[in-house]
Homo-oligomer: A and B are copies of this chain.
């Protein structure tokens, strides 16, 4: 069974369906509950949102995934963000006073709301689908939900406005996580996710982290600082790097970070949803590492040279 941030009809639900996995599904009402169910083994994996291109990382997911029993990413999914203002049949746009939605959705339609519904009061709900469900009650105190078409239709609402996202190119990224497992084989467009905690907050620390990657010819897809919970001015870094932990260059870089940083949390190696193929430059391919192993072992054991009588 697979979990997801529900209820039915959320973008997260759509993301899970898009993977065409042949399994039953179970909705959870928060990211935390979904990940807890994964950790407890109640579901084999769970789909949760991790980032959108307007607000950045989804804080709750990012924090939950790297604290507590280890979890590992199996897959990522990218979905375009398409919002509408959904109302009970009969409600007019001009009548809308109380709007309910998820805070990230609110952030992504801020300008539209300021222009079209400047007087509306916005109430926060755990998901856009839950907001749609709330509005679907005929005695709800809310007039409209900002949600996806799928959620609006699922709960019998009609669109008072559609395509209302401020940025038509906005995309949300979702991840499917499960308990630790042997990473799957590299596919050629792989990505590795990490959280890195620096040993202290000396500024050179971040340069050293970046150097561990660049010296092994590894490009970063994303790096974000996150404040530590305990102290202003103390940060850790959430990093997506090109490549797969089965590759020698990634292994050496990750072990370099492990040796020099306070903590490194491995969150998985998996196929990039955007399928951008990686180019591994000469000198950091697995074959280059193996060739260097051979060279080093001849230095350490020169007696093995010339063992063969034919040489």
Contacts and interface: CB of A to CB of B under 8 A. Distances in A.
Contacts of A203: 210, 213-214, 219-220
A23 interface: no
Contact of A292 (B72, B231, B258): B258
A221 interface: yes
B53 A229 contact: yes
Contact of A207 (B214, B251, B258, B291): B214
Contacts of A169: 230-231
B232 A78 contact: yes
Interface in A226-243: 226-233, 235
Interface string A188-232: 000000000000001110111011111100011111111111111
Interface in A263-311: 266, 283-284, 288-289, 291-293, 295-296, 299-303, 305
* Residue among A55, A206, A231, A260 with max Cβ neighbours from chain B (10 Å): A260
A78 to B, nearest CB: 7
A182 interface: yes
A119 interface: no
Interface string A64-105: 000000001000001000000000000000000000000100
Contact of A210 (B56, B207, B235): B207
B213 A215 contact: no
A171 interface: yes
A229 B59 CA distance: 17
A300 B214 contact: no
Nearest to A53: B232
A202 B222 CA distance: 10
A255 B293 contact: yes
Given A214-B207, A231-B53, A301 B182 contact: yes
A107 interface: yes
A296 B288 CA distance: 20
Given A107-B59, A259-B283, A232 B171 contact: yes
Interface of A: 51, 53-56, 59, 72, 78, 103, 106-107, 122-124, 141, 167, 169, 171, 173, 180-183, 202-204, 206-208, 210-215, 219-233, 235, 245-246, 251-252, 254-256, 258-260, 266, 283-284, 288-289, 291-293, 295-296, 299-303, 305
The 8 closest A-B CB pairs, nearest first, are A124-B124, A180-B302, A255-B292, A203-B220, A53-B232, A123-B123, A260-B283, A258-B292
9 contacts: A124-B124, A181-B303, A182-B300, A202-B219, A215-B256, A224-B225, A245-B296, A255-B295, A259-B289
